Structure 1
Amino acid sequence: MSYADPGAAEVIDRATIRMPYLPDSVLNRLERLAGACPVVEPDSPVRARRAVERLGRQFHRESGFDFQPYSAEDPEGQVAVLVPSRDRALGGGELLAGAVGVEPAARYSDLPAPVPAVLWIYLHPYERGRRLIERMWPAVVSRWPGIWLPGPFTKSGRALANRLVSSGLQAPELVPGLQPPT
């Protein structure tokens, strides 16, 4: 199959996992957690929101969940923390290895007040296993004290939640249904 085949570009794009790139001109307009991880708010530049949407689309494809977790046009109050690639920095911008989607004021029927909650986490396959989320997690907890990890979890997501709890980075009572590693 080549790009010259009818419909090939769409198929190749769907089957290829790319790290989004954001230039410094966009990154400089975003807040950064702990000076490193850009934060994309609902009113951030559309180019930054589209990068989050692309990462969310990749999460959706891999996870098998029924929804795409983020829309650039209507983020519904969701905030995303971008995870820069550590080995793939480019002059004039950054490749993005992943994102953490946060609902700053999620409502749950069994809780008396809204709480911050992680809705989804995605890391590009090339960046997995490098503890990028664990390194940035203290900054996430500092920005959103008491942040919940409500699930549902993929197998990898459950393993991450267990690592965050066992390393003391996440309070176990904020991970409903936490199962000890088997």
Structure 2
Amino acid sequence: MGYKGYPFTWQRGNSPSTLIRERLDRMLANEDWCNFFPSWEIIHLPRYRSDHAPLLLKTGVNDAFCRGQKLFKFEALWLSKEECGKIVEDAWGDGVGEDMVTRLDLVSRRLSDWAVATFGNLKKRKKEALQLLNRLQQRSPDATTLEQCKEVSTNLDEIHKLVESYWHC
């Protein structure tokens, strides 16, 4: 089916002299499937903590929904900070006289802004780290590049620990 991104999906070795790369992982589809999903694409994502790169299959279905307005999601981790309740209380109070939808919108915007300032934008940090890892993995594999890949992977580990803490509150 083809692909976009780095051509190799498997890598073994940790130095330029022992490095082996191949395109082992692929996706297959028949003509009926391709006709049913005419906007499909396959993307080779960067390898992270594995010798295989994940493959992302995009079918083009619901692309308009994905580009729409961002939905508000309350995160359990926010409750670990006492000021969360104060943010809600203040925003709700500032909306007195407004209808319910307007007041809820105000609360959600204030909570979202507070969360980014307090916890950072983890999704953005993760996306940027993965993009950097992808660029590094597409370079010629010299010792410096391999070391930079290790550093970015360690940074991704820390980001993943923070993201995981959302689920443990």
TM-score range, shorter chain: under 0.3
TM-score in terms of structure 1 length: 0.22
TM-score in terms of structure 2 length: 0.23
Larger fraction in strand: 1
Larger fraction in helix: 2
